[in-house]
Structure 1
Amino acid sequence: MKINYIFLLLALVAEIVGTIGGFGSSVFFVPIGNFYFDFYSVLGMTAIFHLSSNLSKIWLFKKGLDKRLLLYIGLPSVVFVILGGFMSKWVNSGALEIVLGVFLVVFSLLFLIKSEIIVFPNKKNAIIGGTLSGFSAGLLGTGGAIRGLTMAAFNLEKNAFIATSAFIDFLIDFSRTFVYYENGYIGKLELTYLPFLFVIGLVGTYLGKRILYHIPQDKFRNLSLLFILLIGLATIAKLAFDHLGQLSS
């Protein structure tokens, strides 16, 4: 089986940018992967890729895990990622790609235009954020953007923010890996890329941490949102061209 090295290079970029921007790599990795593989294969790859990525984040940013947020955001995330993962089996993959593209565009535009939007730091919003991010991660492959927005309300120190988010993400990925495997999303193709993605998760997180010290977080947040917008538009454009191609054939 031939390995696509351009895809692996883009996966490394997604991990670096995701680490620095605080949204997590899946918001970039999933739509990028959709240009090279079918949607369900990308879901499987995302789960196994994130396991190594988040383990390295927990190790590199291990200071000050917030146990309260681990409970309020992490627990509903795990429950609803399982639900979303099972539901993904019964929803048309093309429809899921459309939802993903629209979600990325709406999310990025909303926070580029309305940068002052905040979520109040209380238990209710933490649980709602955990529920939505977990369900989105299971169904669409990415929920870090929603979780990042929710956690930002609690004004955590940078290392604590990344470590806590990574720990929650690890619980999500650990749970959905079993669901995706049961659904048939993790097979020979996905396992072939496993060792490459494992190394990329470690290296990308390390490079992201080094770069993070040299770039103001607020400036890179806007750059990350711009990248998310472009990827969302590219995802929708790809689906439109694929549809036109089917109509003309």
Structure 2
Amino acid sequence: MKINYIFLLLALVAEIIGTIGGFGSSVFFVPLGNFYFDFYSVLGMTAIFHLSSNVSKIFLFKKGLDKKLLLYIGVPSVLFVIVGGFLSKIVNSSALEIVLGVFLVAFSLLFLIKSEIIILPNKKNSVIGGALSGFSAGLLGTGGAIRGLTMAAFNLEKSAFIATSAFIDFMIDFSRTFVYYGNGYIGKQELTYLPFLFVIGLVGTYLGKRILHYIPQEKFRKLSLIFILLIGLATIAGLAFNYWDSFSS
């Protein structure tokens, strides 16, 4: 099988930007991957790609894991990623892509316009945020943005934030990998890309950490939101074009 090296280069960029921006690489990786592979293959690749990137984040940003947030956000995330993963097999892939595109556009616009939005740092919001991020990760392939918003309320030190988020993400990815495999999303094609994505996850996280020393996170966060908006619009436009093309023919 021929390896698509442009896709791998974009995966590296997604990992670097995701590390610096604090949203996680999947918010970029999933919509970009949809331009090259079918939605279910991208879900499978995302799970195995994230396993490697999150292991490296835990290692590189290992200072000060917040055990309370691991419990309050991590447990509901793992439970609901399984629910979302099973539902992804039932829902039509085109419908999921539309939901993903709308989610990316709505999310980016909300935080570009209302950057001051905060979530109160309490147990209830932690559990709800964890459940929503896990469900979104299982159903759409990406939930890091919701989890990042929830965790931001607790004003963690930067390394502790990334390490805690990565540990929760690792538990999510570990759980959904089994669900996606059972759904048939991880086959020969996805496993062929596994070693490449594993290396990209490690290298991208390392480069992201190095760049983070030179770029203020808030400035890059705004740039990341603009990227997310553009990718969301491109996703919707691509689906509209395919629909129009099939309708015309």
Q: Give the structure-1-normalised TM-score.
A: 1.00
Q: Give the structure-2-normalised TM-score.
A: 1.00
AA matched with 1:116:
E
Cα offset, 1:248, TM superposition: 1.6
Say how many residue pairs are matched: 249
Cα offset, 1:100, TM superposition: 0.2
In structure 2, the residue matched to 1:101 is 101
Give me the whole-angstrom Cα distance separating, in 1, the residues matched to 2:212 and 2:23: 13
In structure 1, the residue matched to 2:164 is 164
Q: Secondary structure at the match of 1:89?
A: helix
Q: Secondary structure at the match of 2:142?
A: coil
Cα offset, 1:245, TM superposition: 1.0
Cα offset, 1:180, TM superposition: 0.1
**Structure 2 stretches lacking a partner, 5+ long:** none
In structure 2, the residue matched to 1:189 is 189
Cα offset, 1:16, TM superposition: 0.1
Give me the whole-angstrom Cα distance separating, in 2, the residues matched to 1:179 and 1:229: 29
AA matched with 1:48:
I
Matches within 5 A, 1:28-107: 28-107=28-107
AA matched with 1:239:
L
Q: Secondary structure at the match of 1:36?
A: coil
AA matched with 1:210:
R
Give me the whole-angstrom Cα distance separating, in 2, the residues matched to 1:54 and 1:114: 29
In structure 2, the residue matched to 1:23 is 23
Cα offset, 1:55, TM superposition: 0.1
In structure 1, the residue matched to 2:112 is 112
User: Hey, which bits of structure 1, 4+ residues long, moved more than 6 A?
Assistant: none
Give me the whole-angstrom Cα distance separating, in 1, the residues matched to 2:21 and 2:121: 20
Q: Secondary structure at the match of 1:23?
A: coil
Give me the whole-angstrom Cα distance separating, in 2, the residues matched to 1:32 and 1:217: 23
Q: Secondary structure at the match of 1:80?
A: helix
Cα offset, 1:243, TM superposition: 0.4
In structure 1, the residue matched to 2:218 is 218
**Structure 1 stretches lacking a partner, 5+ long:** none
AA matched with 2:125:
N
AA matched with 1:52:
S
